[in-house]
Amino acid sequence: MSSTLPPPRENQTFFTVSALEAGILSFPRDLFLAGTPSHIPERWDAPALCFLLRHSATGEYILFDNGIRKDVHRLPPAAQRRVDIFGSFVIVHDAAERVASGGLDPARVSQLVISHAHWDHIGDLSRFPHARIVVSSGTYELSRSGYPADPKSPFAQDLFSPERTRVLDPFDGTWAALGPFDRALDLLGDGSAYVVDAPGHVRGHINLLVRTSADGAWAVLAGDAAHDWQLLTGAATIAVHPAHGCVHVDRELAEAYIEILRALALAPDSRVRVLLAHNAQMWEDARANDWEGFWPKTITSL
Ligand SMILES: [Zn+2]
């Protein structure tokens, strides 16, 4: 396993990246962080972040994750019970409204890459009517076997219509190791973005590794690989809640993957930004800085 990511090609294409907040969650500490959390409050507000990408050559727009839908009562009952664990959440604008208020018609988003099908990432897919949905086979299969056939499933069976969904299987032989990642797939064929198998959180969880400059800068759109930045710095570890257990289906795999992200993000002279779906610190820093990095502004590349 190599820790280095591939060098840029000649005239390398890349993406500009903008954050969007599509809902705010109240995170209970006991569910997420253990270790040395004495300075961490019992609950904190964290955003449901999505990331809007614009291709440097074609101008194509890709959205990574879709936040929370406004009509959460339409979620399966098991997902609604999970919603209740968060105690409170706020949705002022969904992802489509954020895209529109930044000056882009949501119908112009051509691909919607979904890290996993939890309710705070899936949003309402019908809000991006012309986007091809991109998910892993694990996510697709969890949904197809879901609610109502399985009344306990938090995933709706009709979530992904086969007509508009591209299903990617990390084990079908077309994915290959890339730098520190075991399995990656070149999404557009030009080396500008790679779908990365990111195991641990839930079956089928994927990340998107995107180039953010022509000369070697990157971002990892990391979804729920880690729920707080302190898990990357090592200031906290993954919690196991006395009643609800661990938020990851496989804690060891989640820890191993966090180790990869940590090495990329915290290396001296790192040119890799790791963007977590629920990074409260990044969100608060942006809020204090006139929403730097939030659509229609863009995140500066390292
Ligand atoms: Zn999440």
Q: Which domains occur in the chain, in start order?
A: 15-287 (3.60.15.10)
The Cα-based distances of 51 to 60, 89, 119, 144, 202 in angstroms read 14, 20, 17, 26, 20
Residue 196 alpha carbon to ligand 1 centre in Å: 17
Residue 172 sits at the vertex; the CA angle it makes with 155 and 58, to the nearest 5 degrees, is: 80
Residue 291 alpha carbon to ligand 1 centre in Å: 21
Q: Between β-strands 109-113 and 89-90, what pairing exists: parallel, antiparallel or unpaired?
A: unpaired
Per-residue pLDDT, 270: 94
pLDDT class for 109, splitting at 50, 70, 90? very high
Residue 136 alpha carbon to ligand 1 centre in Å: 16
Helices (H), the chain: 29-32, 77-85, 95-101, 119-122, 137-144, 230-233, 251-266, 280-287
Residue 154 alpha carbon to ligand 1 centre in Å: 14
- The answer to whether the beta carbons of residues 49 and 65 sit under 8 Å apart is yes
3-state secondary structure of 60: coil
Strand partners, 219: 210, 273
For residue range 159-209, list pLDDT tens digits in order.
999 999 999 999 999 999 999 999 999 999 999 999 999 999 999 999 999
- Give the Cα separation of 278 and 271 in Å (integer): 21
For residue range 260-294, list pLDDT tens digits in order.
999 999 999 999 999 999 999 999 999 999 999 99
Q: Is the pLDDT assigned to residue 3 strictly greater than 80?
A: no
For residue range 214-228, list pLDDT tens digits in order.
999 999 999 999 999
Count the Cβ atoms, other than its own, within 10 Å of residue 88: 11
Residue 52 alpha carbon to ligand 1 centre in Å: 17
Residue 231 alpha carbon to ligand 1 centre in Å: 15
- Give the Cα separation of 182 and 198 in Å (integer): 9
Instruction: Write the DSSP symbol of residue 127.
Output: G
Residue 120 alpha carbon to ligand 1 centre in Å: 5
Select from 79, 73, 168, 153 the least CA-distant residue to 115.
Answer: 168
Residue 89 alpha carbon to ligand 1 centre in Å: 13
Count the Cβ atoms, other than its own, within 10 Å of residue 107: 14
In the block, residue with structure tokens 């609610």 = 147
Q: Is the peptide bond before 296 cis (omega within 30 degrees of 0)?
A: yes
- Give the Cα separation of 152 and 76 in Å (integer): 9
What token pair was written down for 83?
Answer: 């919603």
Residue 201 alpha carbon to ligand 1 centre in Å: 9
Q: b or e along 235-266 (b: 16 or more beta carbons within 10 Å of the residue's beta carbon)?
A: ebbbbeeeeeebbbeebeebeebbebbbebbe
Strand order across the 176-178 sheet = 176-178, 181-186, 193-197, 206-211, 218-223, 272-276
For residue range 35-71, list pLDDT tens digits in order.
876 678 889 999 999 999 999 999 999 999 999 999 9
What token pair was written down for 136?
Answer: 């892993």
Residue 9 alpha carbon to ligand 1 centre in Å: 34
Residue 11 alpha carbon to ligand 1 centre in Å: 35
Residue 278 alpha carbon to ligand 1 centre in Å: 7
Which residues, 6 or more positions from 171, have their beta carbon under 8 angstroms from its beta carbon? 183
Q: Between β-strands 15-28 and 43-55, what pairing exists: parallel, antiparallel or unpaired?
A: antiparallel
Residue 284 alpha carbon to ligand 1 centre in Å: 18
Per-residue pLDDT, 2: 58
